[in-house]
Amino acid sequence: MYLPTTNRRLLTYLAGATISRTGDEMSGPALLLLAMAASDAVSTGPAVVAALTAATAVGGPVLGVLLDRTRRPGRLLALALLGFAAVIVCVALLLGQVGVTALVAVALIGGLFRPALSGGWSSRLPGVVPARELPRASALDGLTFDVAALAAPVLVGGLALVLPPAYAVALAVLAILLAAPAVHATGGMPRRTGRPPRLRQQVLAGFLVIARIRRLRRATVTSVISYAGVGLIFTSAPLLAERVLGKAGHGPWLLALMALAALIGNAAYAARPDRIAPDRVLAATYCVLAAAAGSAALALVAGRTPVGACCLLAAAVLTGAADGPQLSALLRIRHRDTPEEVRGQVFTTAASLKLGGAALGAALCGALSSTLPVAMLAAMAVELAALLSFAALSCRGPRT
């Protein structure tokens, strides 16, 4: 069957994005399970996951500048995927063999490449489809995150039932490697001629654009705060499953339930993306995430009882139902308010800052792993802080 060139490129883009993001989503829970099997320290897994995401605060802005400067952004993204896959392999091989400090140092290197799988992919979308198709393509791009988030824990959880965690890590690496040709084929965009500004100036320009444009600034700041709470909840999934459901291996299934709820919520939002402004959707998700964290805290108080299990399942559903539409709303805001000449910088910088918030949440999970009810209450407080920040940033200064 013949497909127009644009549709073929979009399908290739979506397939590659889904596969690579599935590998990325698998890497976190797979490494958590592998760390729990290879180390006696409960905090080792969360520390590694936190390190993988923490370095994105540095890697994202630099990668964005390089994407805006290079004539072959697809090739650059492909190399970043290969680098991220290589670091995951190194971390898996070193777990149980070296101390936490060395593991964190290696994982930090991987974080420098990770923005390629999120903001790096999404920033290339205007080069794949015409401007008139961008809203629909952006909604489909958001759905790739949800499909990946759903498939990853199912794959990790399924493999954990019959095979050691190392096999799940290997499958995550394979998925990232398989996506490299797709990003190479779809990443091209016309580059500006002439001598580009200095790297430091361009990195700073991305931050200045986010700081100057009010709606972009509000979305970026509050989503970073919110994702600290989301990161805390997601990283706590194996521990929550162990405390409430009796087995840490059920953690990936909790993540799968979150992803399924995210997919349903995002699909409903994508069907009518213009019905509610993305800024209002963003604010609403903070309220739902706060309720999810409170429900998880109640589950821990109830313990291994039917009430505890119901509260934990409700927390998973609420988390996913908010996380999916939040991402789509963020992508729409970025496409709407970002100037074309700094698109790569803004997308990767904003995504990196958001993942930095998730890294903070993962670090809090490690610090509060022995007092999980307190951790969930902290997550609820973080989401309420995001909501209050949204309200405060909505009232300050003229719209720019």
Q: Identify the CA nearest to 358 among candidates 184, 7, 114, 144.
A: 114
Fold for 5-394, please state it.
Growth Hormone; Chain: A; (1.20.1250)
> Does the model's pTM come out above 0.85?
no
Contact between residue 331 and residue 273 where contact means Cβ atoms under 8 Å apart: no
* Model pLDDT for residues 309-356, shown as the tens digit of each residue: 899 999 999 998 998 888 888 888 888 888 877 777 787 778 777 877
Rg (CA), the chain: 20
Longest C-alpha distance within the chain, in Å? 66
* Model pLDDT for residues 116-136, shown as the tens digit of each residue: 787 777 777 877 877 777 777
Contact between residue 61 and residue 117 where contact means Cβ atoms under 8 Å apart: no
Task: Give the separation between CA 252 and CA 158, rounded to whole angstroms.
Answer: 9
Res 225: pLDDT: 93
Task: Give the separation between CA 318 and CA 233, rounded to whole angstroms.
Answer: 11
Q: Which residues of the chain have pLDDT under 70?
A: 1-6, 39-43, 53, 56-57, 184-203, 206, 273-274, 369, 396-400
Res 1: pLDDT: 39
Contact between residue 251 and residue 32 where contact means Cβ atoms under 8 Å apart: yes
Res 390: pLDDT: 93
Contact between residue 93 and residue 38 where contact means Cβ atoms under 8 Å apart: no
